[in-house]
Structure 1
Amino acid sequence: MANPWAGEVSLSLDGVPHVCKLTLGALAELEEQLEEGSLIDLVERFEAGRFRARDVLALIVAGLRGGGWQGRAVDLRAVEIGGGPAEAARAAAQMLARAFAPPGGDG
């Protein structure tokens, strides 16, 4: 079960719940993978609703890896995400909000 106070988000892959969390290491990995801009640019795209599928996938992979998953983006090609693309986007946005929420915030 994900702990929102620890910045965690739950995401179901092929019916199995996984904990996602944007740790500092996961954020560094994400920043390295971004094709343009910075993490702040990514946050701004999500806030404005201008995110791309590539943004969602990068966030999901980084969050899963921050939660201990050992896979890669290619491993998600044939995986059924519970709730589909809309749930993946919601989880990605929630991870960003929780990663950058001030202490004591409800992100």
Structure 2
Amino acid sequence: MANRHRGEIDAELGGRRRTLVLTLGALAELEAAFAASDLVALAQRFGSGHLSARDLVRILAAGLRGAGETVSDDEVAAMTVAGGAPGYATIAAELITATFGEAAA
């Protein structure tokens, strides 16, 4: 079960209930992926409301790896989510909110 005080969330991805968390390592991974200079720039990027499907894959994959799963971006891209594209966006928004608070989501 996810601990929101540690920034964890639970979500169903690929037919399984999984925990996601953006650890410091996962955030560093996302800074590099998005060419963000720091956490503030990363939060601003997420808060822009303009995320591509590839962005969602990167965020969800980093969250799964942060929670200890050994999963590639390509494996995450192949996972199904209830609700289709809006479902992926909802999970990413929940993870970002758990990490940065409401302002970044």
Question: What secondary structure does 2:51 align onto?
Answer: coil
Residue type matched to 1:95 in 2? Answer: L
Q: Which residue of 2 aligns with 1:43?
A: 43
In the TM superposition, what whole-angstrom CA distance separates every residue of 1:36-71 from its partner, at most 9, and x where no partner exists? 444434432433322222221111011010111101
CA RMSD of aligned residues (A): 2.1
**Which structure 1 residue ranges, 5 or more long, are not aligned?**
102-106
1:60 aligns with 2:72: no
8 Å CA contact retained: 2:29, 2:62:
yes
Q: Percent identity?
A: 39
Normalising by structure 2, we get a TM-score of 0.79
Output the CA distance in 2 between the equivalents of 1:53 and 1:96.
15
Q: Which residue of 1 aligns with 2:76?
A: 76
Normalising by structure 1, we get a TM-score of 0.78
